[in-house]
Amino acid sequence: MIALVVHGGAWDIPDDMADAHRHGVQKALMIGFAVLSDGGSAVDAVEAAITILEDDETFDAGTGSFLNLAGEVELDASIMDGRNLRAGAVASVQNIKNPISLARRIMEESDHILLTGKGALRFAKEHGMKSCRQDDLITEREILRWREWQKKKNMSVQEAFRKKKVPLDTVGAVVLDKAGNIASGTSTGGTPNKFPGRVGDSPIIGAGTYADNSVGGVSSTGWGEALIKVVMAKSVLDFMERNGGNPSKAALEGVNMLERKVQGYGGVIALNMEGEIGMAYNTPRMARGYMTSEMNQPWVAV
């Protein structure tokens, strides 16, 4: 069995953006699954799928990410290998087109897990990764959105999130490969108009990303501050372990906990070691999809 599940963010995705989200998720699934079918590892497939989503301007990851309060792009990402619980992550990094690839490099070529800002960029350069200009990551859509946010100074972040209208196109993937190994990853540009240096759940191992071959893998999306408070990804994995390995029940329990304990909202994707899929969210929509070796075409929904 090989399996891949992907998300492209949980929020009130407008009708006129639904097709773009659907097509982006489908492309990520097809590319990631091709890597798996060719014998690639779970980590390979996670990186390949998320790279597609980072390069797609539809999503809040890589190119097309939200601008912070200063009008700049700061990116977060993490990846985890369920074979050995090794992980790599970056936070508030600038001038890197695909932060998921940098997170993987940190996991595989350093003794660290999380690098931030200038340190992450220095690590990238010292390990042969190309940097890019801020302009390469900024789109006209996000400039216009940023200008609108400057007019909302009287609205608190918490109030804005609870209206469920804040776009949250964080992306993620969880994979089971032919060798029975599980990996997961998450990537984001954070929240619109965030304070410079703000870090959400996506690069935090246990909150945004977690993978353990003995149980499964999880990737989270949504209001990062709330997801951190409940350690969302690891909590869902723990629910799965306790319920006998059911990812659907675990995902739903995690989302219910998120709302009950911290009035948070968002979603999760989960995968167990048998290749069974779980997805849950408490927002109007979540871009999501999956494919397994028992399917001829991926299943995608928004």
**Residues forming the active site:** 170
Please state, as a whole number, how many other Cβ atoms lie within 10 Å of the Cβ of residue 129.
15
Give the three-class secondary structure for 289.
strand
* Pair 290, 251: CB distance under 8 Å: no
Please state, as a whole number, how many other Cβ atoms lie within 10 Å of the Cβ of residue 189.
30
Counted residue by residue, the chain has a size of: 302
Nearest to 277 by CA among 294, 263, 296: 294
CA angle 271, 275, 280 (to 5 degrees): 35
Nearest to 53 by CA among 191, 172, 168: 172
CA–CA distance, 246 with 84 (Å, rounded to integer) = 22
Task: State in Å, rounded, how far the first CA of the chain is from the last one.
Answer: 26
